Amino acid sequence: MRVMLADQRNSVRIALRLFLEEQEGIQIVSEVCRVGELVRDAPKIQPELIILNWDLVGFQINLGEAAPPRRTYAQVKAVVISSLHKLGSNPGVVVLCNQQEDCLPALYAGADAFIDQGQFPAQLPILLKSVRDKRAKIR
């Protein structure tokens, strides 16, 4: 399974890469740290799965002094996730949630699954396989 990692924290990307590369059949094909890089690189790389931090740098909209409501961020995230699902490789999108309250909005935005960062990592390969299988049925 070809996996793309999208997280602004180098330590998280390294930990995910090291853990996932130990799993049979998983290959990390790209790592990005901003939404712009994700949107630019994913069509070229055509990953089968994208692990995406819900708070990835670039989702925030700068409106000067007026902070946009949280739902605006969720709408932007939904557009990005929807565009990722439309890639030729039909990738699954698994969202890393930093806070428990972000998990359901991630699913509403179109993520195939979420990982609460406090979850035990041994569950991750099983989750990724189930997402890949689910996306394969959609093709």
Instruction: Express as a percent the part of the chain with pLDDT over 70.
Output: 86
Task: Kindly tell me if the per-residue pLDDT of 70 is higher than 60.
Answer: no
Q: What residues form DSSP beta bridges with 5?
A: 31, 51
Whether residue 48 contacts residue 3, with contact meaning beta carbons closer than 8 Å, is answered with: yes
The contacts of residue 123 (CB under 8 Å, 6+ apart) are none
pLDDT score at 100: 77
Structure tokens at 76: 């932007």
Residue 14 CB partners (closer than 8 Å, separation 6+): none
In Å, how far are 25, 28, 116 from 89, measured between CA atoms? Answer: 17, 15, 25
- Neighbour count for residue 26 (Cβ, 10 Å): 20
Give me the domains of the chain, ranges plus CATH numbers.
2-138 (3.40.50.2300)
pLDDT at site 65: 47
**Comparison of pLDDT for 43 and 96, the residue scoring more:** 43
Q: What is the pLDDT of residue 68?
A: 52
Report the pLDDT value the prediction gives residue 62, as an integer from 0 to 100: 47
Given a cut of 90, is residue 14 above it in pLDDT? yes
Nearest alpha carbon to residue 83 among 42, 34, 31: 42
Categorize the per-residue pLDDT at 72 as very low, low, confident or very high, splitting at 50, 70 and 90.
low
46 vs 12: CA distance, rounded Å: 22
The whole-chain average pLDDT of the chain stands at 84
According to DSSP, residue 121 is labeled G
Q: What is the mean pLDDT of residues 96-115?
A: 85
- Residue ranges in the chain assigned as alpha helix (H): 10-21, 35-45, 70-85, 103-108, 124-138
